[in-house]
Amino acid sequence: MITVGMLPTLGKIVGKLDAKPVIEILKTEDIFTDGAKDLTNEQMGIIGADIIAAILPQLGKIADDLPKLAAVYKNLPLEDVQDLDAAEFINDLVNDEGIRNFFSKALRRKVEQAV
């Protein structure tokens, strides 16, 4: 679920990331069509892992935003999120339907703007 407190940080993250590598993954998987609704959890997990691999080289751009996102997402003080298991946190984000929908719509807008 996306909370109001998450919106500013999510917006910053989307604005800072180069979406081209992610868009190519999503196009390949036909995620921009209604066919995405038919994907299994395993397929979504694979797509999520591919997206993370595409974004990892850009983590420096969003390094300051990730702890803020984790704090708001987990409802924890900022200083407490530094020791969270990164794989578990990423898995939570990938499996959160609200987060997926947010990034899907944001990426769609970036695709439309690029065309």
3-state SS track over 17-68: CCCHHHHHHHHHCCCCCHHHHHCCHHHHHHHHHHHHHHHHHHHHHHCCHHHH
Instruction: Kindly give the confidence (pLDDT) of every residue in the chain, 115 residues in length, as a single tens digit, with 9 standing for 90 and above.
Output: 888 999 999 989 888 888 788 777 777 766 655 555 677 778 777 887 888 888 889 889 999 999 999 999 999 999 999 999 998 998 898 788 888 888 778 877 776 776 5
Measured distance CA(53)–CA(44) in Å, rounded: 14
Q: Residue 19 is part of which domain span?
A: 4-114
Residue 111's pLDDT is: 64
Number of domains present in the structure of the chain:
1
Q: What is the pLDDT of residue 18?
A: 83
- pTM (whole model) above 0.85: no
Q: Residue 69 and residue 82: Cα distance in Å, rounded?
A: 11
